[in-house]
Structure 1
Amino acid sequence: MNRGVAITGIGAVAPGGVGVKAYWNLLIAGRSATRTISHFDAAPFRSRVAAEVDFDPARCGLTQQEIRRMDRATQFAVVSAREAWQDSGLDPDALDPTRIGTAIATAVGCTTSLEREYVVCSDAGRKWDLDHEYVVPELYRHFVPSSMAAEVAGDLGAEGPAAVVSTGCTSGLDALGYAVDLIREGSADLMIAGGTEAPIAPITAACFDAIHATTPRNDDPEHASRPFDRGRNGFVLGEGAAVLILEETESARRRGARVYAEIKGYGARCNGYHMTGLKPDGREMAEAIRAALREARLDRTAIDYINAHGSATQMNDRHETAAFKTALGAHAYRTPISSIKSMIGHSLGAVGALEIAACALAIEYDVLPPTANLFEPDPELDLDYIPITARDQRTDVVLSVGSGFGGFQSAMVLAAANSRSRS
């Protein structure tokens, strides 16, 4: 039996605001949250801009012990999961905890804490032989990314399957795809699933600087991320988290839950080509899109909106434009597309979950977020990329795609719930 999977709760910690309301308001306003890096002295680096979260863990409800124990990315995940759980209206006393699973995505794990502890135990890099006596007792938790899923599961009392999914920049989509599979196969009735990342640290900046992947547009941080624009020159690093509550659709309806959308299809491919390079024809992303549509049992003409990967690199934006044309044919020219990375940056393993949250909200409110900073469209990229201003539009079916280092390509299809009333 192909059990339907519904999104019944959403939580977010994002650049520009903590909480789903602040996140959605930022997106529909077309406001960029990118700025000069404040987490560390970025002066030595080629790219010195990022989309940072103004996050006070104590004000977000974390205790001092939790703050000490958890890496910043784990804190994001727990706070997002709590909001999603509350949003879902679930009654813990009516649930079997062994039927509640957890799937959390991350690309770079507890980077913030690991870098901080390395700096301390190496005496700022001056000592080759590290002195373990200087590290915090929580270092093991930071070193093992599974601690993220364990913290979320423990916080909400989930005793079912728990996993961390790490497939680079498609991790957020892939964790949700994994969660959907567990519900469909009957291994879980309810999944707490999403992605989290706090990568804004010197080691991450240095890595992306080395391959010139991030933008050097440091004199204008607010407009630095320019997906599909002629002047795009690299992505802006971001941070944040989104966690969704997924449950079997019929069960959600029986309890009278609000269903933002259903996850109808998911597909993933790998190009087997290059660690960071992409083929210009976009064939492997097109195949992932087709796979997602087949699973959703929808024709390509059903898609009302595409949430693009839209990283603002020359290579990616050409790659996925070609993929949309290949997968959707003439319908690609009739389909509005946008990249919210223009506003919240690229938070690596978390961004896919943040984008799916945005897609569910686009269906809920019939508003399509824009591509900010799209001032001069690249004539080579000749699709409708919703420049600058959000667009009111009836939206029943949404496609979201992701592309990651290693050649990973993922696609997910969301649709309005069948019971949704329309005027």
Structure 2
Amino acid sequence: MEVFAFDGSARKDGDTAQKRVSVKKQLIKVMTVVRQFLKFKRGKLPTVCVFGHNGLQLATPIQEDYEEKRLDCRCYLSDSNLEQILIRDRPHIIITIGNRSSFLSLRTSPFEIQKRWLHYDTLPDITQLGIDAYNCYLTNMFNSPGAYDNPLVTVFTPTYNTAGKIYRPFQSLKEQTYTNWEWIIVDDSDDGGRTFKILCNLAKKDHRIQVFKPWEHSGIIGKIKKWACRLGNGHILVELDHDDELTDYALDYVVKGFNQFPEAEFLYTDCAEIYENGTSNTYRKGWAFGYGSYTDVEYKGKFFKSANAPNMNAKTIRHIISAPNHIRAWRKSFYESIGGHNKELHVGDDYEIVVRTFLKTRMIRVPTLCYIQYISNTAQWTRNRDIQRHVRSIRVHYDRMIHDRLLELGCEDFIWDEKNGCSNLNIPNPEVESHVTLVANV
């Protein structure tokens, strides 16, 4: 008698028993791997960090016998090493037991941490504590507590061969008076991992820092920014270049500006450009088509020529020199609704997304120095001719749409040439500016 094996080949009876034993062994190996895999998958549970009590184990009531009931509890006597615990454990829930005033690190932690915090003066019923912990986990997973008063701000930064200059934006973030932020860094360097190593070390210093690196160098800044924004969890997106810095009140002013105008989805601020030696970079009088100017500002004992960001009118929205510079900030839901940064643009990405933003929402201006931009031998300067080419092409593409949007907002398009159906930047400015900017008072 012949039988057929799994591969379709004929076998005698004598071969069948041996084949069955071999198949059985293979099945045992497969089941062992499956069990190990399932055990590994079960190992990831909602994480609870407990401070002030040792050896606590929590569980949740189950509706069916196939449900998991365990919570991953990690107990500590105090919160004195809170930052490293947050970096290592990434807890979903934080429980403290004892005198609340003794948990100083938690009391001064960002809102994103405090919203996960449950405090008890004495140890409550263990069953109820497990229920409370799991409900806290669910609340933060499905809802956004504090989204208006204390929104999480995602600061996003693409890096390229930045090396030690990254400590400049890092230090400015550490000094922010508004502490509920996260920093998403996407490294596009091709320096053999030097910059990425520095970034990873930064992430070990602050739980709010997340670092990512694509499998190969891209060189397309629009793509890198889009990735960074999508990786963030915040309600507000703030762009920060890899060698620049924010003033210490910057994020606070961004949040207040958005809260002042809930109907607007984009915000920009004033900015100072300086060289590495500390001297200011300025443009000639009448820059930004006559709408640009400067204010002398003292910040931390240093004086800056702060560029007064122009309002958005028929001219200023039509060129990069007068369009919003730093800070540029979006509500994330809006940013995603317009498709984010253009992933095909290696230059001019910032101007192109500003135009698309203008077409869909009102813009808020915070007339205060919030950003210090360092001028060096970067792509912005070495590829300026290519930038100008792209800016012209972007303006031509969106010209009619800008015209229609200005009229929709009741703003005079004073440079529109009706005969030729396009704008003309050479048309003189009117005596009284007609603009559509919402100016915040923060």
Q: Same fold (TM over 0.5)?
A: no
TM-score, with length taken from structure 1 = 0.29
- Name which structure has the greater RCO, CA cutoff 8 Å, separation 6+: 1
| Structure with max Cα Rg | 2
